[in-house]
Amino acid sequence: MGSQRVLIVDDEPGMLRAAERILAGTYEVATSSRPGEALALADTFDPDLLVCDIRMPEMDGFALAEAMRKRHPGVDLIFMTGSSTEPDAALVRAVRSQAFYFIQKPFDRQVLLTLVERCLELRRLRHAERSHTLRMERELANARAVQRTLLPGPSAAIGGFRVEARLHGSQELGGDLYDYHAIDGGGAGGVAFIIADACGHGASAALLTTVVKTSFRAGLQDEFDPGAVIERLAECIRHFGSGSFVTAFCGRIALGRLDYVNAGHPAAMLWRAGETTHIHATSPIVCGDFPVGSWPVHHEPWPKDSRLLACTDGLAEAPHRPIRQLAALLEAAIAACDDPAVMVDGLLDSALATLGGCPASDDIALLGVAGS
């Protein structure tokens, strides 16, 4: 912060010189005997601390402090007084003026030095904390922008499929992720997808989402086989230690069949031929504690015009519903409409409406697929 600057204002010349001698050896000091002159001086001196008498001509110390703070909002205050009348009232007013301290004249040299030193040290710490906070806010904003680039668009038409996905983050950085990609599907065309929820919140969870994204996109080499995607993800998570894990629902739809792995994730909902099927967890969460082969692939027929709806558990936490009610929510939504955009938007809007403008306690991700 450089040299710290103290402006002393007192209409008593002897007291002004005494205070200047005490502080000038340690700080950059300017003095004035008149409040109006002090205000003009402050415009060029830009003080960190104003040490001023309370009883002065032109205006008293409280009026000077108020005028000074309008022109220099960050300045700190120490009031001085030589009056012995109503000292308590002056003290109360000094406190209400947000002064650092109220000192009575005559004062001891070490008392003034110690007060000024403490005041300016706290000021330095406030500035350092503010700078740190601003830097962290910039870094979080940049990280959030990067994390958002991990997501594909919220809507896509892939072959004969329509995909709709939404993500509502509860913090700057989140642990939920969705992704999807076209597959060849034996020449007939198909779509692969994943919806996942990493443990925890903030930067650690966001880092895991990048691992999920990488593991899924590497599936291009094996036509997004869900088992291979989850095995790759598990191998990567092993490097994070046993405290890190992900729940995930990963699948691909091609040639009239849904291949999937539900690794400890909330149940997805499959609608076909007028009936709904709950796709519950078929294997444990994805973490390094389980051996290779813990995530077998399961299959469901996918007749023409079927649709699928999946979400993360934040959808239940927003309206404080038990997690077991998620399946019922999805079942009602998928049975009521064949438009995946209407499904996911309706569920998300309903959850956010219950919060009444308050932030969600967890991220919310939704994924809907319909067609072919």
CATH code, domain with 282: 3.60.40.10
99 lies in the same domain as 168: no
156 lies in the same domain as 243: yes
> Which one, of 17, 11, 27, lies nearest residue 61 by Cα?
11
Residue 252 has phi, psi (to 5 degrees) of -140, 145
pLDDT number for residue 110: 92
278 has a pLDDT exceeding 80 = yes
pLDDT number for residue 205: 84
Nearest-angstrom CA–CA distance, 191 and 180: 7
Could you list the residue range(s) of the whole structural domain that residue 361 is in? 150-371
> CATH no. for residue 117?
3.40.50.2300
Looking at 141, 162, 190, which one is the last position of a domain? 141
Give the residue-averaged pLDDT of 42-65. 91
Indicate the average pLDDT of the chain. Answer: 89
301 lies in the same domain as 357: yes
Looking at 141, 164, 182, which one is the last position of a domain? 141
Cβ count within 10 A of residue 70? 9
Looking at 85, 109, 141, which one is the last position of a domain? 141
Nearest-angstrom CA–CA distance, 227 and 216: 11
* pLDDT (tens digit per residue) in 144-199: 777 677 789 999 999 899 999 999 988 777 789 999 999 986 666 899 999 999 98
H and E: helices and strands count for the chain: 10, 16
Question: pTM higher than 0.95, yes or no?
Answer: no
